Amino acid sequence: MAETDWHVVANAAECYSVWPAALPVPDGWRLAGPTAPKDECLEWIAANWTDPRPAGVGREVA
C-alpha cells in the first residue's frame, strides 16, 4: 500500500494540524508546513509549534 501524503495546516489562531493532501484544505485553514507522510508532518509540528496556546491567549502573534 502506498503511503498517503498529508499537509501541515494552520488556522488563524496559529493552531497546527495535519490534513490529507488528496483533499482540499478546509475553509479557515492554510498550508503552513511540509507535505509529507503523516509521521513526518507530526514531527515537523512537534518541532515548530512550541506554544500550543491559540494566538491571543497569553502569547504574541507573529
For the chain, the domains span 5-48
Q: What is the pLDDT at residue 62?
A: 54
Q: What is the pLDDT at residue 54?
A: 77
Strands lying side by side in the sheet with 29-37: 16-20, 5-11, 29-37
- The H or E element containing residue 35 is strand 29-37
Q: What is the pLDDT at residue 1?
A: 35
Q: Residue 24 and residue 39: Cα distance in Å, rounded?
A: 20
pLDDT in tens, 24-61: 999 999 999 999 999 999 999 999 998 877 777 665 55
Q: Which CATH class is domain 5-48?
A: alpha beta
pTM over 0.85: no
Buried b (16+ CB within 10 A) or exposed e, 29-60: beebbeebeeebbbebbeeebeeeeebeeeee
